[in-house]
Amino acid sequence: MEINVEKIAVIRNFCVRRLFFSSVLFAIAGLATGSALAADFLMCSPQIAPWTYVASSRNDHKIFAGPYPELKEELALRSGYSIELIVMPYARMVEQLKQGTCDFTWTLWSANRASYALRGTTFLMLEFGVMARPGISLKKYSDLEGLKIVVPRGVKVSSEFDKDKAIEKFPVVDYLQGLRMLNHNRAHGIAGTFLTFNYHFKKMGRANILQDRLPLKTLPVSFVYSLKSKKLSDRKLLDITMANMVKAGTVGRIIEKWFGAGSARLPDDPMEGVDWNKD
């Protein structure tokens, strides 16, 4: 039997080309399908340094840094769920939760969120209060009377403090401006969250420049799930995984990486207030 080498070569080339184009089409289809596949959960987060901020940006692709992105990656790794982080201004984040555009966020829980959200695991306790510059005694609330306290924009310390007219409150743009005023003895103290103070001290590479601190309010930082999320029935594993991260010391390690040693105040019971029967 005579073998037609040229004919075999033609057939082989045709098959190779067919296989190549099929592979290309398959790859394109796979990419299209992959891009269309949604993550298991959409997490919205306010863009607030140091919690979540843009570390770098290239070709419209932003790389986020901060304790929230790190906690999100650890949570996804341990739970097996894919979680897409969407960063936006705080006001827009609240609207997204109300509309169910994103499934959850991490923020301060309060009863006024119950109309549009459910509370999940608490993984951090956030202290609000006033810290005084050296030489100013601040042991009890009455010590604030007559003092000039700088208050960063948007900060709500406590209902008593916020309404107290016996305390001279000086509004500032941010924490850094307030700390600079204290450095120059232009105010007696600064109001806000102690974790944020620790972050700026650590960033400046210096020890705590303030002296006495007066805690006025402590609020839980928790999962806040949108009532309109279609993934509510799947939230149990996220809650359990985060609670285990608290108990294992993972949350504390990440928080102290960003805010300094000894800065993490963790909840005694991460599952307090969680009710999986609600959806």
Per-residue pLDDT of the chain (279 residues; tens, 9 = 90+): 444 434 434 444 444 344 444 443 344 344 434 433 679 999 999 998 889 999 888 877 889 999 999 999 999 999 999 999 999 999 999 999 999 999 999 999 999 999 999 999 999 999 999 999 988 999 999 999 999 999 999 899 999 999 999 999 999 999 989 988 988 899 999 999 999 988 887 777 665 666 799 999 999 999 999 999 999 999 999 999 999 999 999 999 999 999 988 899 999 999 999 999 887
SS (H, E, C) 42-89: EEEEECCCCCCEEEEEECCEEEEECHHHHHHHHHHHHHCCCEEEEEEC
* pLDDT, position 20: 44
Q: Are strands 148-152 and 189-193 parallel, antiparallel or unpaired?
A: parallel
Report the alpha-carbon distance of residue 111 to residue 91 in Å, rounded: 18
Q: What's the distance, CA 274 to chain centroid?
A: 19
Token code pair at residue 274: 């969680």
Q: Which residues, 6+ apart, have CB-to-CB distance to 203 below 8 Å?
A: none
pTM of the entire predicted model: 0.81
Say how many Å lie between the first and final Cα of the chain, rounded. Answer: 76
Task: Please list the residues that pair with 170 across neighbouring strands.
Answer: 150
Do 75 and 245 form a contact (C-beta atoms < 8 A)? Answer: yes
Give the count of beta carbons closer than 10 Å to the beta carbon of residue 158: 17
In this structure, what are the phi and psi dihedrals at residue 64, rounded to the nearest 5 degrees?
Answer: -95, 145
How many residues can be counted in the chain? 279
Give the separation between CA 245 and CA 254, rounded to whole angstroms: 10
The pLDDT of residue 52 is 94
CA–CA distance, 91 with 77 (Å, rounded to integer): 29
Interatomic CA distance for residues 91 and 101, integer angstroms: 14
Is beta strand 117-132 parallel, antiparallel or unpaired with respect to 41-46?
Answer: unpaired
